[in-house]
A and B are shown apart, each in its own frame.
Chain A
Amino acid sequence: MSDEGMSVIVKTVSCVLVVPTVVFGLYVIMHGHLTPGGGFPGGAVMATIVALFLVAYGKDGSRKILKKDCLSAAESIGLLLFAALAFAGISVTFFSNFLANTGNWFGTVIPFGPNPGYLVSGGVLPLMNIAVGIEVFAALSAIMILMFSYSGDDSK
């Protein structure tokens, strides 16, 4: 069964929507330690673009754009990055925040009390949010692609 997707209008609009969606997803991920959001919601926002592509381009068209192998590798890499960040603090304890309040990378020392929000603070938390964002984006996309392309035969 050939599945060429929807009309050229839908395809073009979905291409145009890539930029704002990805930017918004990255914004949610990057501000995860300051406002509601973080890796999971941001990754989910970015994964909506994959859903859009699957609908717009159909089974066959989207297979050219989205590579399942890359996604599953990205999934592993995101998870490993998260675990590596957790392991990096093990000289103190597992998961200890070794970057926070050091004045270095992501380590802005924050005064006590309400503040307008410092983006490069929080130590390993923003980095972990990025790792979770990669993993959630890759995993959700892979789930959607697999579910969308399952044809009913069990020969795989």
Chain B
Amino acid sequence: MSVEFLIEHSPALAIALPLVAAFAAPLFGKLGSFLRNLWVLLMLAFTELVVLLMGQDVLANGARVYALGASVPSLTSPFGFPIRIVLVADAMSALFAVTAVSIALLAFIYSWKYMSDKGGVDKFYTLLLLLTAAMAGLCLTGDFFTLFVFLEVSSIASAGLVAYNRSGKSLEAAFKYTVVSAVGALFLLFGVGILYGKYHLLNMAAIAAEMAISSSFLDVAALSMLASALLLKSGAFPVHMWKPDAYQQAPVNVTIMLVTTALLSLYVLFRICFTIFVPVMGSTLGWLAVVLGAASIFVGVTMALPQKNLRRLIGYAAVAEVGYILMGVGTSMVSISRMDGFAVQALSGGVFHMINDVLDMSLIFLVAGGILYVTKKQDITELSGLGHRSGFLTVMFAIALLAISGMPPMNGFASKLLIYESVYFLNPMLAIIGIAGSMMMLALFVKIFASVFLGAPYRGIVAPLPLSMAFVMCVLAFFIIVFGLFPNVALDLIVTPAVQALLGKAAYIGGVI
């Protein structure tokens, strides 16, 4: 298997390899847990290699399309008409595919020890790999129906993972999550149906090309269906209630996958808005996103204040973080319709913040999981002075709290600054809400830091932190610091090509059909 072969088939392999690994995991589980873990690790590492090769190739040579089942991978429309399932890897989708698969790999390494004393791990890994495949599919899909399928696969797999503990609370959280995502996915299917009824097409690029010629009220109806469905899945303000429940009740290695899934549904929303629905978008959706973003920040931060459970508190902080992304991208949508030149900056801020949010949230959830692992205590009021016992967790928590609240040496600062700057020109009040939200988040996390890590030395039992869990946290902290110290490198290297790909509608359509 040569490298060219891997690159040529990379979009299909990125989805197929985790799927095969998922189906085979229970069979390997019958042979022994070490063999099964090794198999999952090798398959995930191989997938990671494939998506990294794909990303590097996409940055160097431009977008890559892959028609499943065609006689040549690039033959998307054999009779001048797109009939096959098409996968598209451009800079944007490759960026998120790499992010999703990397987080899955890290989550697996973390779970090696974290899950070792629990039951039903075979099924757990099956669902984890299924979720990985669905996330890669969400990034790479080029047609609407496959999008619906991957969205449903991701929500079924993540609901199963949320309910993994099978306690009453986790079942309740999983039920809530399934209701929200099932209704959302059906809305999405309805929107896809409207589009199919109008264009008799499912391919995103072909619909975009047709819509540029003639757009009508039906497109607006379809867009509102799709946007509401994806906002439901992303956990922004009006339907944020599933988010803290699910994030609190899932095992933390699942929670970081859930964070990534929520952001991927935002990625799909942006892909749809900026690449397909440009003719009908106008500034209404942009303003809606900005207002929902501001409301999410407000609600997330204020609801986080009274929480006693650390993971639930971070869950509300995650609602606020989604608010920042929506604010940045909403500004960009308004700015495109006004043509006032802030679109690229705001969108860069939004996209960069998505990557940063995945890193920050993953790190802080993993630290919370680490605290749970070493002390076996859920309630933060029972903990104090842990800093004397576990210096490593203290440092990691400090890095994560600075990154989440957007303080200068960390990555959160760079992306939030871009968002503040651009949203300031839309309305100064919004920038003030954003900054105030960050300040409150800082106050909140410093309070937790003081109460959990400082004070008289902790008396209870502190188990040693396994090396694999520490390794994962180190990797995340490394990227947080690197992106924080050299934001221009990250922006030039990955974010700007992604933003160009997102805004380059003509290139996308031309590349696919």
Q: Do chains A and B touch in the complex (CB under 8 A)?
A: yes
**A93 interfacial contact with B, CB 8 Å:** yes
Contact of B24 among A80, A89, A90, A96 (CB under 8 A): A80
Interface residues of B in 63-88 (CB under 8 A from A): 66-73
Interface string of B12-38 (1 = CB under 8 A from A): 110010011001101100100000000
**A86 interfacial contact with B, CB 8 Å:** yes
**B113 interfacial contact with A, CB 8 Å:** no
**Which of the four size classes fits the interface of chain A?**
10 to 19
Given that A72-B26, A73-B27, A76-B26 are known contacts, is A93 also in contact with B20, CB under 8 Å in the complex?
no
CB nearest neighbor in B for A86: B16
Interface string of A63-98 (1 = CB under 8 A from B): 000000000110011011001001101101111110
Given that A93-B66, A94-B9 are known contacts, is A80 also in contact with B71, CB under 8 Å in the complex?
no
Q: Are B23 and A79 in contact (CB under 8 A)?
A: yes
**B338 interfacial contact with A, CB 8 Å:** no
CB nearest neighbor in B for A73: B27
- For the complex, give the distance between the alpha carbons of A6 and B167 in Å: 34
Q: Are A95 and B23 in contact (CB under 8 A)?
A: no
Give the shortest distance, in Å, between A130 (CB) and chain B (any CB): 16
Taking CB atoms, residues of chain A closer than 8 Å to B119 are 156
Interface string of B289-303 (1 = CB under 8 A from A): 000000000000000
- For the complex, give the distance between the alpha carbons of A123 and B16 in Å: 21
The number of chain B residues with a CB under 8 A from chain A is 22
Q: Are B27 and A93 in contact (CB under 8 A)?
A: no
- For the complex, give the distance between the alpha carbons of A97 and B69 in Å: 7
Given that A93-B67, A93-B70, A95-B69 are known contacts, is A87 also in contact with B27, CB under 8 Å in the complex?
no
CB nearest neighbor in B for A82: B23
- For the complex, give the distance between the alpha carbons of A100 and B104 in Å: 37
Contact of A80 among B23, B30, B69, B73 (CB under 8 A): B23
**B198 interfacial contact with A, CB 8 Å:** no
Taking CB atoms, residues of chain A closer than 8 Å to B26 are 72-73, 76
Q: Are B12 and A94 in contact (CB under 8 A)?
A: yes
Additional A-B contacts beyond A73-B27, A83-B20, A89-B69 (13; CB < 8 A): A76-B23, A76-B26, A76-B27, A77-B27, A83-B23, A87-B20, A93-B12, A93-B66, A93-B69, A93-B71, A95-B12, A95-B68, A96-B71
